[in-house]
Structure 1
Amino acid sequence: MRYLKATAQDLCGNGRADTVILHFYQQQPAAPDALIYETVGLDMTVDGKVDLQLAGERQPDSLDFDKRLLASFADSFLKLNWFNPARQWQRTLILYVDHFGKTGKPNAIKLDFHEPAASGGAVPLIYNVAAYDGDSDGVLESFTNSDVDRNGVADKADKELIRSLCTTFLALNWYEV
């Protein structure tokens, strides 16, 4: 299974996420998960949009990711309000395809929000969210009712944010049938 692990940080110390780190992993049987690709996006103007991307070293067999898609995903991720103070890695988001339809297309995408309970402890699942394509037509139609932007209300803005994250994740093609 392939999955994307996203982390945001507030490196400027202004109380807003300004850095997004994306790690693309491949699970390996009887071995640790392999980090295939890493990229970092920086919001230098604090406008909620990535201004600069720094790509890490790619494994030879990894996909060639479109920088615009990576920036689009990072921009949506910045809106989540799920970030860490500078140089901390407690809060993470993991996205993966949970189920494929009869046509072989993804029809369930999961977003798992993790945060450790104590320093150095395991990283428990805080909550998860899902998006579904019930008829395998490539359009996400239903979503779990969750307050992903953490403003205290589960509303249309949350659904649009889930849709944006999942649609961009699917466009990156970081999944296996």
Structure 2
Amino acid sequence: MRYLKATAQDRSGNGKADTVFLHFYERGAGGFDELVHEAFAVDMNGDKNVDLQTVVDIDVEGQSMVIDSHLLTLFANAFLKLNWFNGGESWKRTLVVVAVHEYEKRPPNGVKLNFLERRSTVRKPTLAFQAAAYDGYGNGVLEWFTNTDVDKNGVVDEVDKELIRSLCSSFLAFKWYTDPVSAAC
């Protein structure tokens, strides 16, 4: 199983997320999670748009390309718009993104967004809330969304739906999921 763990931080101290860290994990046969890729993006002027980033081979095709950079920017820009970040260099709040495989021999038909919060350094993170998007018709388009206030402004609206769509679609574009069809071959 592959998943993405994203963390946003307010390193400038202005009350807004400005740095996004992406950790791409793969769970091995022994049940241990291995960090495979790491990337970061920075919003230097507080406009919730990435100004600086690392470029890694996110889609695991053997080379870092403009497409990888674009995919990272799309995901990080959406993540910066959430009100789910840490003050300073803290790692208490994270977002874990996982593909949903309802049908064994097809590509993912959904994506779950698990918003985790660690209340203390000695405890495991707990699920604060969850959001998801689904491809209900099997056509590769995410058209069903949970009604979740992901930007934490107190209202579930179209902005939340678009943030969920953007985060989930950009995660699927990373192709950071285990495809049962290729795994069975």
Question: Given the two structures, how large is their TM-score scaled by the length of structure 1?
Answer: 0.92
| Aligned mate of 2:121, from 119, 122, 129 | 119
Q: How does 1:8-19 map to 2 (within 5 A)?
A: 8-19=8-19
Residue equivalent to 2:133: 131
Q: Which moved more, 1:97-106 or 1:115-124?
A: 97-106
Q: How does 1:69-84 map to 2 (within 5 A)?
A: 69-84=71-86
Q: How does 1:1-177 map to 2 (within 5 A)?
A: 1-55=1-55, 62-63=60-61, 64=63, 66-101=68-103, 104-177=106-179
1:137–1:89 distance in 2 versus 1, CA, 3 Å: same
Residue 166 of structure 2 aligns to a residue whose secondary structure is: helix
Aligned residues: 175
Structure (1/2) with the larger helix percentage:
2
Q: Matched residues in 2 for 1:117 and 1:9: separation?
A: 16
Q: Matched residues in 2 for 1:158 and 1:110: separation?
A: 14
- Once the two structures are TM-superposed, the CA of residue 62 in structure 1 deviates from its matched residue by 4.1
Q: Matched residues in 2 for 1:138 and 1:167: separation?
A: 10
Letter in 1 for 2:91: W
Q: Matched residues in 2 for 1:159 and 1:117: separation?
A: 28
Contact 1:38 1:55 in 2 (8 A): no
Q: Matched residues in 1 for 2:55 and 2:170: separation?
A: 18
- Once the two structures are TM-superposed, the CA of residue 55 in structure 1 deviates from its matched residue by 4.5
Q: Matched residues in 2 for 1:34 and 1:110: separation?
A: 20
For 1:15-71, what per-residue CA distance to the aligned partner results, in whole angstroms no more than 9, with x for missing partners? Answer: 000000000000012242010000110001111001000247x79x94446101101
Contact 1:103 1:136 in 2 (8 A): no
Contact 1:7 1:20 in 2 (8 A): yes
Contact 1:26 1:36 in 2 (8 A): yes
- Once the two structures are TM-superposed, the CA of residue 103 in structure 1 deviates from its matched residue by 5.7
Question: Given the two structures, how large is their TM-score scaled by the length of structure 2?
Answer: 0.88
Letter in 1 for 2:148: S
Residue 76 of structure 1 aligns to a residue whose secondary structure is: helix
RMSD: 1.9
Contact 1:101 1:136 in 2 (8 A): no
Residue 129 of structure 1 aligns to a residue whose secondary structure is: strand
- Once the two structures are TM-superposed, the CA of residue 119 in structure 1 deviates from its matched residue by 3.2
- Once the two structures are TM-superposed, the CA of residue 152 in structure 1 deviates from its matched residue by 0.3
Unaligned stretches of 5+ in structure 2? 180-185
Unaligned stretches of 5+ in structure 1? none
Letter in 2 for 1:24: F
1:102–1:122 distance in 2 versus 1, CA, 3 Å: closer
